[in-house]
Amino acid sequence: MSFLEARRRAAQVERRRSARLTIDIPVTFRTISGDRECRMANISDSGAKLETDTPPRKGVSGWLVMGTQEIYCSVIWANDNACGVEFERSIAQDTLLSIAGNHAQQNAPVANAGNIQMGRRRGGRLVSSGG
């Protein structure tokens, strides 16, 4: 993996603003060009990761269909075997849990390193380098 690719992936992870539930359920991504069968790898109140052999390209919009649930979303990133979708509207916690089922594992949101102030201790005092 090149340095630029590593930085792009790191930036992608830092954009997460919600805790995610790790799951593995079959879903359909429905677009105007047809249905695409996928596996949902994780979900949050604002989006999900879909795994498929032929992911749609960034910018494609459609419906994420899970049984009787349908959520309108857009693809915000894609690679060779997966894509990330962002929901048009955040979904409610009870809806999120009903989609994920009993087998979900919760992952905390990734810490944003930009919020860490360098050179400061927890108490807010500046760190001195001696004397």
What domain range is 56 assigned to?
A: 19-108
- DSSP codes of every residue in the chain: --HHHHHHHHHHHHT--S-EEEEEEEEEEEETTEEEEEEEEEE-SSEEEEE-SSPPPTT-EEEEEETTEEEEEEEEEE-SSEEEEEESSPPPHHHHHHHH-TT-EEEPPPP-GGGPPTTB-TTSPBPPS--
Q: Is residue 125 part of a domain?
A: no
pLDDT for 20-43, tens place per residue?
888 999 999 999 999 999 999 999
**pLDDT, position 14:** 46
Domain assignment present for residue 98? The answer is: yes
- pLDDT for position 74: 97
Identify the segments of the chain with pLDDT beneath 70.
1-18, 102-131
Q: What is the pLDDT of residue 20?
A: 81
* Per-residue pLDDT, 12: 53
Q: What is the CATH number of the domain that holds 42?
A: 2.40.10.220
The predicted model scores a pTM of 0.66
**Total of domains in the chain:** 1
Residue 84 domain-assigned (yes or no): yes
For residue 41, is it within any domain?
yes
Domain-located, residue 43: yes
